A and B are shown apart, each in its own frame.
Chain A
Amino acid sequence: MPLVQDLVFWILSVVAIGAALGVVLVKDLFRSALLLAVVFISVAGFFVLLSAEFLAVVQVLIYVGAISVLFIFGIMLTRNVREGNLPNRLQIPAVLCASLLLVGMIAAAINTDWRPIPNAASQLVDSAQTQSVAGAPAGALGSGYEAPETGLAELLIGDFVLPFEAVSLLLLAALIGGLALARSRGS
């Protein structure tokens, strides 16, 4: 990979891992939530490096814009936040389970055969790597180019429509649950 992308990759990796370590090790809960937002932003940077601009932007929009805010609201509504994590008996079992999960995930990630999205966009995406820092819009690479989002959209509505609708049902259930919880008594 060219020099600039190597450099950016290493910088992002250091930031991401440092922030992730900070999330679990920092005592102040609010700061660990903010470091989690930093992790999300660096993951978005990784997506940009992989030429998945759409996913990067969606990552920032959803994770930083909504989920981090959710975490922070949760922290705000919790009392005695500044004391940090109280000692309890479950710490050693938690460490064991987390390390097992980590080993399992690394094994799964190494042993998977990652297939690219099967459409014509992928070759063009590869050629776009070399110009990827400049960013190639729809018109510049010829009329046969489809933006990666089009492939994504076709998959969502075509092959994966059932999970898509199931997710929308899940959101509906969450909305109704939220409304039911927030409804005041007697109204």
Chain B
Amino acid sequence: MSCQLASDSILYANGIYRVVYEIVGVVLPCWVAYAIAGLVFAFILVNAVLLGAAAITWGERRLLGRFQNRVGPNRWGPFGLFQPIADLVKLLTKEDLRPDGSDRVVFSLVPVLMVAPLILMTAVLPFAKNTALASLNVGVLYILAVSSITSVAIFMAGWSSNNRYAMFGAARAVAVLISYEIPVVLSLLGVVMVAASMSLGTIVEAQALPFFLVQPLAFFVFMAGMSAELNRSPFDVAEAESEIIAGYHTEYSGVRFALIQAAEFGGVGVVAAITATLFLGGWSGPWSEYLGWLWFLIKTGIIVFLFIWFRATYPRLRIDQIMAFSWKFLLPLAMVNLIAVTLEVFLLRGDDGVLTVTDLAIMGVVNLAVTVIAIAVFGNLIKERVSFRTRQPQNVVVPGVSTIEVI
């Protein structure tokens, strides 16, 4: 059978892939080399997601501590660097419970189904120039599709726990997830329109000016929407520790809980990587093209810091506030952004279909004005109006109790 890795294939340009392919290809037939090279890259990605989840737990605990005027964990290892290992060991040594009336297969399958979409999402991310495991030309849509599997997984978690609090938590979490998918998709449409492609590599190359400057409204809607999709504060009703016990992962303990936490914090990392690719310019950076991975990591770190900063600052929203925020605030904003970007792209795109840096800068300035106006307008429109007026109710006499009516 013919060797499939020709020198003009996109995977050939992927440095790691090529190196492994050529090393293995010396000894083994080329289709085996092909498979092994792919597996090595996939192995690196899986490990990156899981280790990134551990690193983000450490970073989050330390940063949250500093935001709250205290030191985070600093006992295990210098600066508490071994704290994730301590957590992992603790979780591994816990008893592996399974609730009584629960559905065995589904219950055990849920942690896997929560981690798998994240790992699948990293397959399309370009870490450096031409370095992505699968450079699909529907990359953005692929990411959205894979992240929607999480809703099914959360529902499975709630249902199979045979616990009504878990069910409530899961229902609320799924409602939040599907509500926030729409503003996220619409904000990404703006990005796709400016870059004229859904492939992530092309989007990075089209960012002569990073897209968070060109479309600040899309960036804001995307960050808010993704915070909700990840069930992070201020949208974390699904796992609010003080509310419905622990929501959909009440009944999980030990390794399964460790995997669910890995899914949550790994999600932060992967979504930060996606944001860095789509809005901050991915691997592009000043000095050398070979340092693309370094810039990628730095930008991902900045977005992770932003997520942790949001968590440290904002109080938790009620579930009805979360729904109102999505349908009445983010969705109109995303539509405003879409209309604005469409008009600008239509007017500014030259005949060769290229948007120059000046065009992007003009778009950025106009979009900034649009952002400020839209947020002010829609923020005012959905502000809760609370007025306290006391009046005496008619014909109601309850001895010993004074009645105050709040309107």
Contact = CB atoms under 8 A, between A and B. Distances in A.
Contacts of B171: 73, 76
B345 to A, nearest CB: 15
A134 B4 contact: yes
A66 B106 contact: no
Contact of A69 (B8, B103, B146, B178): B178
A31 B151 contact: no
Interface in B145-193: 145-146, 148-149, 151-152, 155-156, 159, 167, 171, 174, 178, 181
B197 interface: yes
Contacts of A28: 103
A137 B152 contact: no
B142 A137 contact: no
A2 to B, nearest CB: 7
Nearest to A145: B137
A76 to B, nearest CB: 7
Interface residues of B, number: 39
A102 to B, nearest CB: 28
A174 to B, nearest CB: 15
Interface string B251-276: 00000000000000000000000000
Contacts of A138: 137, 197, 199, 202
Majority-rule SS of A interface residues: helix
A103 to B, nearest CB: 33
Interface string A1-15: 011100000000000
A69 B174 contact: yes
B152 A58 contact: no
Contact of B1 (A3, A31, A140): A3
Given A54-B141, A57-B141, A135 B135 contact: yes
B106 A60 contact: no
B202 A60 contact: no
Interface residues of A, number: 34
Contacts of A4: 31
B149 A64 contact: yes
A3 B155 CA distance: 38
B225 interface: no
A154 B138 CA distance: 17
24 contacts: A2-B1, A30-B106, A31-B106, A34-B156, A57-B141, A58-B141, A58-B145, A60-B145, A60-B149, A61-B144, A65-B145, A65-B148, A65-B149, A65-B178, A69-B152, A72-B155, A73-B174, A131-B6, A134-B11, A135-B10, A135-B135, A136-B137, A138-B137, A138-B199
Interface of B: 1, 4-6, 8-11, 31, 103, 105-106, 134-138, 141-142, 144-146, 148-149, 151-152, 155-156, 159, 167, 171, 174, 178, 181, 197-199, 201-202
Given A69-B151, A76-B167, A140-B8, 19 more contacts: A4-B31, A28-B103, A34-B106, A37-B152, A53-B137, A58-B141, A60-B146, A60-B148, A61-B144, A61-B145, A64-B145, A64-B152, A65-B148, A69-B152, A76-B155, A76-B171, A133-B4, A136-B137, A138-B199
